[in-house]
Structure formats: C-alpha cells, structure tokens
Structure 1
C-alpha cells in the first residue's frame, strides 16, 4: 500500500489580499507601492499616543464585494479588535483586526478539479491592517524596517480545513487571485506582496475524522510555491508518522531554492494574542441599502459569463479562456454587441490578439484596436474578401494603434482583397500545374492529399488574393480532367 492510499492530507488556507485603496485602513497615508522607505507614514500609522484612527469606507466596500462574490453572509454589526503581539515591523505593538465579528461569514469558492467542480468552504473573510516590512540584506549587522506598508488594508480569506491536495490548493489560490482582480479590489501581485498565502497542513489516516497536528507554512509568495510547500510538508509529515515520530505544531517557512520548509517558531494559540475590542474605533453598522448598492454594482462573475458563452455556442475551453481576466471578457462583450460571429470573435481574441497583448506586455483594456475594427475584420473574412491568414498577419498589425483606419481601407491600400475572378485564378493555377509536373502525375495516380500543396502554391503566386474555395474547386476540375 502506498502512503497516498494510507494517509489523507487536510489543508486550510489563509489568503491575505491587499486592498487597492488609495489610502490606508485608518488614515490618509498613501498605499502606493515602491516609495522610498518610511515616506508613507504618519503619527497614526506609527501609533503615536493621542492619535485618532478613522475607518476607510472604501476598504469596507471592497471586503463586502469579495464576500458577495464568495456567497458569504455579510455581518451587519462590526467592530475591530486589537491583536497583541510584538514584531519589529509592527509599529503599534499590536495589529488592528477583526476577531469575533468578521465582516463576511461562511461562503465558498468554486474550483475546477480533475473530477469536476468543487466548492471550497470558507470560514470567514475579515478586515485587518498590514504590518510593515523587515529587510535583512541592506545592513550587515542590522535589520532595517520599512513602515510604508503598515496600516494598508487587507482582507484575510480563511477556508475551512476543506482541501486535500496540493493541486487543489493551487487551483484555489489561482481562483481567489482571479476573483480579486476581477472585482478590482486587489492587483493580485504576489511578487510585490499584495497577495500572500499561509497554509495550514495536517495529515491523518484515511477514515479518521479527528484532525492531525497541524503545521502552518507562512508567507508563500507565489501560487507555484503554495503547491510546492504543501507537497513537501505532506511528505515530511507522513515520513515522521511512518518512523513513529511526533509531529510538532509549529510555524514554518518555505525555501524556494531547495523546495523545503524549515521551522521558525512554535505556533501561537489564538489566546496568546489577547484580543480585545479596539477602544479608539467605534463599531460600524452596515445598512441594507449600503449592501444592496454594492450588490447591484457587482460585475458578472467568471463562472456566470462562461455559462453564458457556452449557451451562445462556444466550447468549454474558449469560454474559459475568455474569462481568465476581466479585461478580456469585457472586450469580447463589446465585440459581440455588434456581431453574431461569436466563435470567430473568440478565435481572434484567444489567438492573435492575446498573442499581441502578451508580446506587448499590456492588458486588453490597453489594446489600441477598437471592437468595431475587429468586428469589421471578422466580417471581411466571413465574406471571403480576405482569408484569416492575411487578415491576422498583414492587416491586423496595421490596424493596431491606428483606430481611425478601417480593415477595408488597409486591405485596399495594400492590394490584399481576395479575388474570385475565375480567369485570373485560372492563370495562377495553370502556372502552378505547369511548374509541378511530377506532383501532377502523383496526384493523378491517387495521391489526392497533394491538393493542399497546389492550393498553397497558388496562394503564394496570388500573394493571398486568390479565394481558397474557388482555387480548390478549379484545381480539382483541372487535375481530375
């Protein structure tokens, strides 16, 4: 029996998403990334005595947006609490968070697995402020501290212990990142720390209902590292149990250079934090109309749009590709307002346009090709005025960045419009047949697959202007005569 058949992993994830507000959770200090150290701080960020924090309304809205997208119950009566612990990068000596009243309760995030869709159950989503950042590689003998990040609003999205494989964790964090970007509440940039993940991992014998001793792996800064760290921990813990050794509850960190984790401290229990209500912040009540207004402004979510696109005739794959980013879906929706060629529009967006966007390192909302230009280009191909190859390789590059031009103008100027003139096509075909006597003989002897070669040669001679269908029909007539 393999260990995989004998043991089951139980995983809970805590994802911290930095909210994309202009100012911090309790004061007006900027949240912009990349400023010189300790320039986005004030007396409130630094927790000076006598300062009075005030709650950022936009951060509350963003937390509710995520809660609604995750099917959570929104808590109407909220207050903040002090979470007491000391690290050098925590300027107040405590963190302001939510404890007994998270703003969002329950809910789930749907992920796709090899066996189908699965709803990962959430425990809560709560608001809190971020800490600063300790930097260990500037001074040889000292640790430097940058408080710019301190006080930045976060939501912490906490699952139940409801995941069982590293791959499920990978899919879950991928979906959470897509959701926060889709809603516009976080840029999801794990490299800059705007999205961070902690993983709680335990293992138990299959069939057991009691959870095993858990280990928390902190501050995983890429989705790939989430998967690798969990895979390592599962293997490490199973090996300990197989050798009859005890698993110690502790906090660990991940070393991406060796794909291993290492202990950094014994794990604190919740009561070690000595939570109590934040005395400088009054509770806040959410009215029904406030929540309703946020709900009405919510965009259609990815899974809703995927179903809509499939109803319109797109494949599962095409629909999923259009919904990887909201900017792509928004662009597609603008295009199909003006055409019923839904599949062709998807092919263009998932193909040449996505390639251009990736190569240019931009997003679809920065694409300098108007939806109406794409609609006209699609229609030209559908009408047989140009083929897809000419349209994508020669016309499209001219259109991008020149939104005043039409595809027809470009095709006419470049002499690219296809011709169905039989006499003109016949001349090209006669030249090809004359220059390829050996292939003609092979074709007549039964190698009918060579028809594609002849069509390609005519295409070259015509510089893409010959209508492929007319070419094929006329070639077959001549070769089969």
Structure 2
C-alpha cells in the first residue's frame, strides 16, 4: 500500500462527505432470470447452463415471474413507487463472464423508484433516499489462476457460467448527505438493514460471503461550505458489513490526502483488498458509454395494481419493529439484544427455540455463546450448524430437569453435531447423565475426604468455603457427571 492518508478527524474538519450505495442482491428463485436452469449454489463448472444463459445465437429469453414479484416486494419494503409499465434494456460491455457481450438490465424505466428508509447509528436516525430498484441478470464467475488470485500476475483465467443469468436486483440510492463522520457506519447499518429485510421477505439468503449480496460503495468529498459534489470513486463488490465500513473509511482518508495536497481525485472504480486498502481499477464509465437500448426480445412488464396490492399485503413485519417486539417479549436488556443482533442468524434461531419450549434466556445463551463459537470455528453460518432449534430446546430441557449440567450439555452438542442422534439419544449412548445416586456420590466423597484430611479439618473448623476444593475433586473423579449441589450437601453432612 502506497497511498497517502489524511487523519480522519482532519478530513471531517475540512470536508463534507457524500456517499452513495449500489447494492446487488441475488434472488432465491429456483430458476434463472430468463431460462429454466437451476440457481443452486455450487455444482461442477458450467453444468447449470443452457443456450439462453450461454447467449447462443437464436436463443430467446423469457422473464421469470417470481423474480418480478420479488422485485416489487423489495421495492414496496423500501417505500418505493411501483411502475405501471417498464421494460428491459441491453447494457453493452464486454467481460469474459458475460457470454452475450451485453447484460440484460433496466435503464431509465426501473420496476420500482423513489423510496427511502431510516437507519440508526449510535442513537441517531439517518435517512437513506432510494432512487431505484431494477431487475437484471448476474454475470458468471472468473477464476484467475496463479499469482495472488487476481488478474494481475495470473497465468490464466477460467470462466464458470453457472451464475450467469441468476436473477439480480440492484438497489441504488440517491446521494446520501449529512452523515458527517458517521458515513461509514451509516453505510454499514443500511447494508445490515437490507440483509435483514431480504431474509424477512424470503427473497434472498443475502449471504455476503457467497456473493448473494454485495455493495458498490461510492464516496466523494467537497470542501466545507461548498454545494458542488466532488469527484467520486466507486469501490466495487464489497462483500461484508465490516468491509463496507472499512472501505469507505479508507477512501475518505485517501481522497482527503489527495485534495489536501492540491491534487484531483480521479473518477474510477476501485477494488477493496481485505488487507485494509483499495486499489485502482478502471476509469468509471458514464451511462452513455454502455450504449443502452431497449431489449427487443422481451415484452414490457406491466404489473396490475391489484397484483401490487396483493404483494403489499403479503409483506412481513419490518425487521426493526420485529426486533423491538421480540426484545419486549423476551425481556432482554439493550445489551443482551445487541448481543443477539450482533450474532448473524441468531434472532430467527432463538425465536424458533423459544417456540420449541426453551426460555428466551437459555436460547440466547446457547445460540450466541457455545454454538456461535462453534460456527465461527467451522467458518460456517450459524444456521448451517448440524443442530436444530428443537434439539437445542430438548438439550435445555435435559439441563432444567437435572439430567445434564451445562458442561455435560457441551459434550452432548459434540454428539449431535457428529450426527449421533438427538440430545436424548446422545446422553444415553455416551452415558452422560448426571449421577445423583446418594450411594455413588457418598463413596466418591469419602475417597476425596480421606485423600484430603487437612481440607476436611478446615471445614470441620468452620471454614466452609474450603468445601469448594473437595467439590471440585469429586466432580473430577465423577468426570463432571455429579450433581454439584448434591455433592456439597453430602460433604457438609459428613463434616459438620
């Protein structure tokens, strides 16, 4: 990294920040935007293709109706107007992952337009004005072999067209003013809002690490007191909440240093490097450079007002309102709810676990603690752990009933994740139930007392806190399967 960076506080003192966000969301439709090929993730390269998504001559596209419905529901959730008539256009440019040499998209006639949402950062609300939601198709995937995995220095490149033609929604904001030094955090909050909204609508998994949702983050600076927008840069395909915030922070500091030295910011695309910096891409094209023209092979889309009304009636509870409602129902403090919100996927799993019979506190304990740790270690989303909400509720019931301690429950989780059965089946197969038999516990206590006469004498002399040492040894001897309260009771009974 060779860029000069200005101190962030100095940038804020000298310049106003304007950001804009273009968010691409892959839809969870069963088939692609223009053909019947599957949208399933993975598969052998180029196995989910046909003449349409390969752009072969003579092939004709047909609009995916479910994708149109999803686009309208997204637009309605963002407070947008829904067009009574719109059409598709050809966006002409060449990339090896676009087999037609153009992308089917929408240009001046989007399906949804002029909306907006509010997000909160540190207790302050910020308005995000949404310019448009438009439908298009995703590109394929380039893999650059050799070097550092980028085209620079690669030996050769491979192209997989499985993703080509997957339904893609682009959500574009107007310039966002007035965020000040909070601009990167506001962008992150907006991305988090969109991710939660897409999942609530059930239109996309919004898995940023898989590319289901990704952000092109625009930023420009203008001197304090100026009303003229500065030259912007666009950091492309940022694929995590943390990276959106970090990329904007870096670009703000980089542009500040250029302007502070009397230079000019170049309008260009930039790439985010997870090491913590951006690098130059290509000069940014204007709309006219793409030579848009109406797509002749697709009829216009004209959603009836009755259909739009039906889709509006089907919208789920807004994610922010849902979180507030669940916090009240669960009795969580703000700190506890931040813990839940900060654990991706936890809120749905906790709700399902509570519905299966567990208390909200117990559900939060497992999903935001032990299970979140295991998901992080396995580098998979929480919901992909091989344990269900019903099984977590069953596990907690065994703890509540005295069959397990929390320590033993963690061993049961090992068995469930290893596909050894339900929590009850794992307890039986591994012999993990708590031992509460007075005879077995009494024998273990006698052995520990005999082995530690000095500690036993302290307890007889009234130093009851010394009992902890004996309890620990009994628990160790019983491999953690003793009832600690029962052990304490037996020790005090023998030594009082």
Q: Is TM more than 0.5 here? A: yes
Cross-structure match for 2:106: 98
1:44-97 Cα offsets, whole Å, 9 max, x none, are 75273x654321112112223333443434334332233344556544454332
> What are the equivalent positions in structure 2 for 1:360-375 lying under 5 Å apart?
369=387, 371-375=389-393
SS where residue 283 of structure 1 aligns?
A: coil
SS where residue 285 of structure 1 aligns?
A: coil
User: Against the structure 1 CA distance between its residues 468 and 286, is the aligned structure 2 distance closer, same or farther, given a 3 Å change threshold?
Assistant: same
Shift of 1:343: 1.3
How many residue pairs were aligned? 475
Cross-structure match for 1:436: 452
> What are the equivalent positions in structure 2 for 1:420-431 lying under 5 Å apart?
421=438, 428-431=444-447
Cross-structure match for 2:33: 25
Cross-structure match for 1:248: 266
Tell me, in whole angstroms, the C-alpha distance in 1 between the residues paired with 2:362 and 2:323: 16
Query: How much is the aligned-residue C-alpha RMSD, in angstroms?
Result: 4.1
SS where residue 247 of structure 1 aligns?
A: coil
SS where residue 384 of structure 1 aligns?
A: coil
1:211-262 Cα offsets, whole Å, 9 max, x none, are 2221222333555543443233212211122112222333334455672322
Cross-structure match for 2:484: 468
Tell me, in whole angstroms, the C-alpha distance in 2 between the residues paired with 1:220 and 1:434: 65
Shift of 1:155: 0.7
Which one is further off, 225-234 or 58-67?
225-234
User: Against the structure 1 CA distance between its residues 385 and 153, is the aligned structure 2 distance closer, same or farther, given a 3 Å change threshold?
Assistant: closer
Shift of 1:207: 5.1
SS where residue 66 of structure 2 aligns?
A: helix
1:361-411 Cα offsets, whole Å, 9 max, x none, are 666666655655543432332233432222332x4444553556736x935
Tell me, in whole angstroms, the C-alpha distance in 1 between the residues paired with 2:48 and 2:352: 42
> What are the equivalent positions in structure 2 for 1:293-442 lying under 5 Å apart?
293-295=310-312, 297-298=314-315, 300=317, 302-311=319-328, 312-316=330-334, 318-319=336-337, 328-339=346-357, 341-356=359-374, 369=387, 371-393=389-411, 395-398=412-415, 401-403=419-421, 406=424, 410=427, 414=431, 416-419=433-436, 421=438, 428-439=444-455
Shift of 1:142: 8.2
8 Å CA contact 1:369, 1:402 repeated in 2: no
SS where residue 303 of structure 1 aligns?
A: helix
Question: Aligned match of 2:254 in 226, 231, 236?
Answer: 236
Question: Aligned match of 1:151 in 165, 171, 174?
Answer: 165
SS where residue 157 of structure 1 aligns?
A: strand
1:318-346 Cα offsets, whole Å, 9 max, x none, are 54555678865454334323426221232
Which one is further off, 137-146 or 395-404?
137-146
Cross-structure match for 1:198: 216
Shift of 1:123: 2.3
User: Against the structure 1 CA distance between its residues 295 and 250, is the aligned structure 2 distance closer, same or farther, given a 3 Å change threshold?
Assistant: same
8 Å CA contact 2:247, 2:276 repeated in 1: no
Which runs of 5 or more residues in structure 1 are unaligned? Answer: none
Shift of 1:13: 1.4
User: Against the structure 1 CA distance between its residues 247 and 343, is the aligned structure 2 distance closer, same or farther, given a 3 Å change threshold?
Assistant: same
Which one is further off, 396-405 or 134-143?
134-143
1:427-481 Cα offsets, whole Å, 9 max, x none, are 54454444334445667889765443333223234444543334445656776x5
User: Against the structure 1 CA distance between its residues 315 and 198, is the aligned structure 2 distance closer, same or farther, given a 3 Å change threshold?
Assistant: same
Cross-structure match for 1:65: 73
Which one is further off, 316-325 or 283-292?
316-325
User: Against the structure 1 CA distance between its residues 430 and 24, is the aligned structure 2 distance closer, same or farther, given a 3 Å change threshold?
Assistant: closer
Cross-structure match for 1:287: 304
Taking structure 2 as the reference length, what is the TM-score of the superposition?
0.77
Cross-structure match for 1:40: 49
State yes or no: 1:278 paired with 2:301.
Answer: no
8 Å CA contact 1:411, 1:417 repeated in 2: no
Cross-structure match for 1:269: 286
SS where residue 284 of structure 1 aligns?
A: coil
Cross-structure match for 2:237: 219
Tell me, in whole angstroms, the C-alpha distance in 1 between the residues paired with 2:200 and 2:475: 43
Which runs of 5 or more residues in structure 2 are unaligned? Answer: 1-8
